[in-house]
Amino acid sequence: MPGEILRNTACWFLGDLTCSMYNYMSFIVTSTSVGDMVLISIDRYLAICDPLHYPTRITDRRVKLSICLCWLSSVFYSSLFVKDDLTQPGKHNSCYGECTIVVDLITGIIDLLLTFFVPVTVIVVLYLRVFVVAVSQARAMRSHVTATALQLSVTLTTKKSELKAARTLGVLVVVFLLCFCPYYYCVTLARDDPLNSSSVSFVLYLFYFNSCLNPLIYALFYPWFRKAVKLIISLHILQPGSCEISIFEVNIL
């Protein structure tokens, strides 16, 4: 986003090659962010819908391999969009000090399908499945409780779990759609609109801002992550015995 601000509010003085590399990096970072969203949704699906096999399926080695493959795939995928710009830096610039990138209609549609529709479909389907399973498990636990006091306690816990699952799913999908829909509308449906050039900066900021919000949605919703950040900021992590502090809670939603 700082690079985007520089590109739109001042003369680009870093050179054509740096401009091409900046555009390339912006594609890599955003596509990797979307790929990580899909990986996390798969992780949550296996953790809740197949908990007995989760420790054997999701190992440290497989997680690291998946993340590396996600980044490598994004590097290759993004190179297809900027290959002309990388081989001929400044090809699309109309004047000195300009930093632009041109995405043709066919490329924009392909990007729309692979970076928007497919990930959204996977995330929504998996999280809906997670939500249904979580609610059914909570209701099954509630049905086995006979004491009135315990029944009330389980009912309240069930409602909280249902609301938390619904909130996480709702925030996830709504934020993703709000950040991505304007961008893909401008680069595909409204590319010939005279007002498109004045709005493209805003939609790009919004597009990049989704990657900024992802850590808040996926991580700060979890108490163990908030506790870990608190330990780091307060420098408690430097004290003797800090490695023995338990930050995890039994809460997979």
Q: Is residue 249 domain-shared with residue 141, that is, in the same domain?
A: no
Q: Is residue 162 domain-shared with residue 247, that is, in the same domain?
A: no
Q: Is residue 131 domain-shared with residue 227, that is, in the same domain?
A: no
Count CB atoms within 10 A of the CB of residue 204: 20
pTM score of the predicted model? 0.72
For residue 29, which of 220, 208, 218, 172 has the smallest C-alpha distance? Answer: 208
Residue 248 is predicted with a pLDDT of: 61
Q: Is residue 161 domain-shared with residue 99, that is, in the same domain?
A: yes
Q: Is residue 252 domain-shared with residue 167, that is, in the same domain?
A: no
Q: Is residue 124 domain-shared with residue 233, that is, in the same domain?
A: no
Q: Using 50, 70 and 90 to split pLDDT, how confident is the model at 152?
A: very low
Query: Average pLDDT of 193-208?
Result: 69
Query: Average pLDDT of 171-200?
Result: 71
Residue 252 is predicted with a pLDDT of: 42
Residue 197 is predicted with a pLDDT of: 56
Average pLDDT of the chain is 75
Q: Is residue 85 domain-shared with residue 182, that is, in the same domain?
A: yes
Q: Is residue 217 domain-shared with residue 230, that is, in the same domain?
A: no
Q: How many domains does the chain have?
A: 2
* CATH value at residue 90: 1.20.1070.10
Q: How far is residue 1's CA from residue 190's CA, in Å, rounded to a whole number?
A: 23
Q: Using 50, 70 and 90 to split pLDDT, how confident is the model at 251?
A: very low
Q: Is residue 211 domain-shared with residue 240, that is, in the same domain?
A: no
Q: Which of 119-133, 160-174, 209-223 has the highest mean pLDDT?
A: 119-133
- Domain with 246, as residue range(s), is 222-253
Q: Is residue 125 domain-shared with residue 235, that is, in the same domain?
A: no
Q: Is residue 142 domain-shared with residue 191, that is, in the same domain?
A: yes
Query: Contacts by 185-193 with C-beta closer than 8 Å and gap 24+?
Result: 187/103, 187/108, 187/111, 187/112, 188/105, 188/108, 188/109, 188/112, 191/105, 191/108
